């Protein structure tokens, strides 16, 4: 009778170990799925898009094409400075004549979805924008 009791305890231990291994494997699978989802969200297709933004004293917002961009290059051809804001923010930054900006949103929670541009009263500027989405 004592032998049967030991075998049952060993079986119970094996069942517990197998349950623990299955739980661990399920956690690994879930973590892998979460990481894969995160990486997919951070990736981009590498497509290029271009915009020419004419600025004047009235702020004009332009939605970027196709999808939110992960990178953007801006070049002010002038003849004056332009003031730029991204994603409908209220803060504007001056992009001076002949100045170039290269901006990356890779790894950011929010990508570039809109650009707002304006110039001082009586001035204009042409801002060329090239983005990757």
Contact predicate 132/46, CB 8 Å: yes
Instruction: Quote the CA–CA distance of 31 and 73 in Å, as a whole number.
Output: 35
On whether both 108 and 80 belong to a single domain, the answer is yes
Q: How many domains does the chain have?
A: 2
Instruction: Give the per-residue pLDDT at 98.
Output: 94
Nearest-5° angle of CA 96, CA 127, CA 86? Answer: 85
9 burial (CB, 10 Å; 0-12 / 13-18 / 19+) is exposed
Calculate the average pLDDT of the chain. 77
CATH of the domain at 118: 2.60.120.770
Quote the pTM value: 0.58
Could you read off the pLDDT of 40-71 as tens digits, one per residue? Answer: 555 555 565 666 777 777 777 776 655 677 88
Domain that holds residue 10: 1-43
Instruction: Quote the CA–CA distance of 65 and 84 in Å, as a whole number.
Output: 18
């Amino acid at each position: 009778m004592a032998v049967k009791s030991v075998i049952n305890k060993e079986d119970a231990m094996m069942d517990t170990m197998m349950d623990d291994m299955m739980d661990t494997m399920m956690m690994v699978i879930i973590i892998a799925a979460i990481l894969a989802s995160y990486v997919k969200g951070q990736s981009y297709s590498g497509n290029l898009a271009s915009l020419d933004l004419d600025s004047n004293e009235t702020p004009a917002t332009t939605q970027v094409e196709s999808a939110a961009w992960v990178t953007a290059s801006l070049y002010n051809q002038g003849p004056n400075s332009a003031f730029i804001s991204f994603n409908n923010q209220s803060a504007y930054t001056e992009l001076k004549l002949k100045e170039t900006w290269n901006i990356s949103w890779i790894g950011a929670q929010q990508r570039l979805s809109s650009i707002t541009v304006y110039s001082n009263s009586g001035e204009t500027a042409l801002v060329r924008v090239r983005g990757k989405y």
